[in-house]
Every structure is written in C-alpha cells, then in structure tokens.
C-alpha cells in the first residue's frame, strides 16, 4: 500500500501545482496544456484509488473467508458488514486465539474504512472534474 500512498501524494502535489499555475495562465495554449495535464492527473488519481480498492476488496474477501472458517461461531457477514458475537470473550480458548480474532476484526474494519475513504475520494474527484 506504500506504493499507492506515494503515488497519490505525488499526484496530489501535481494537481495542486497545476491548479496554481492555472490561475496565472498567459495564453489560451497554456490554458489548454494545463487543462490537459489536470485531466491526465485526475485520471491517474482515479485509476490509483480504484486499483487500491481492488486490493482492499481482495484482502477483505480473503480475511472474511479465513474468519468464517476459523471463527464462524463468533462472526457473521452481511455484505461487507461484519457482525461480532462478543461472547467470544468467554470462550474456552487461550488468549492467542482471542487475540487472533480481535486482530482479524480490526484488520478487516481497517480495510473496509480505507476502501470507504477511497470511495469518498473518488466521488469528490468526479465533482472536481
């Protein structure tokens, strides 16, 4: 994910620079060139966010399958929503198993939140275009 973070930072910096230079356009040709560059950068950002969402979706699906297999008595899914039966805290198992379930829950929710944030960013990007 670090690659995507670095790519998005670079694209965002380019977009900011292009927006600033758009304010100081000296000719129609310069304006058209800047507008084309803005469009290309919006396309890059959109593609990067979409690609990242595919990775998050795959990671969520893999984690979901693992959680259903290992902790099926304590987790249920409705679409991407995770429901946890917190009676797992009372299960007759060692702390490592409970910690593994809690870590899986936290990781799944983190991926879901990141994907939702990317979706919000994509909607915002569509409005900026």
C-alpha 37/C-alpha 65 separation (Å) is: 42
- The pLDDT averaged over each successive group of 10 residues in the chain (129 residues) is 77 84 77 86 93 96 97 95 91 82 96 96 89
Three-state DSSP state, 72:
coil
Spatial CA neighbour of 45 closest among 90, 72, 13: 13
Q: SS3 breakdown of the chain: % helix, strand, coil, rounded to 5?
A: 80, 5, 10
From 68, 78, 57, 79, select the one nearest 104 (Cα to Cα). 68
Is the separation of the CB atoms in 70 and 19 below 8 Å? no
**Cβ–Cβ under 8 Å, residues 83 and 76:** yes
pLDDT number for residue 59:
97
Instruction: For residues 65 and 122, give the distance between their C-alpha atoms in angstroms, rounded to a whole number.
Output: 28
In this predicted structure, what is the pLDDT of residue 20?
Answer: 80
pLDDT for res 2: 52
Rounded to whole angstroms, the Cα distance separating 87 from 101 reads 12
pLDDT at 66: 97
């Amino acid at each position: 994910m670090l690659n995507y973070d670095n790519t998005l930072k670079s694209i965002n910096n380019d977009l900011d620079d292009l927006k600033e230079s758009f304010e100081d356009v000296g000719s129609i040709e310069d304006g058209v060139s800047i507008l084309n560059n803005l469009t290309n950068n919006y396309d890059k950002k959109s593609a990067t966010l979409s690609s990242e969402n595919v990775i998050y979706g795959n990671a969520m699906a893999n984690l979901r399958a693992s959680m259903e297999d290992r902790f099926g008595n304590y987790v249920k899914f409705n679409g991407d929503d995770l429901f946890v039966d917190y009676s797992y805290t009372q299960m007759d198992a060692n702390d490592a198993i409970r910690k593994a379930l809690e870590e899986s829950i936290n990781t799944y929710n983190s991926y879901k939140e990141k994907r939702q944030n990317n979706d919000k960013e994509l909607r915002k990007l569509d409005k900026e275009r």
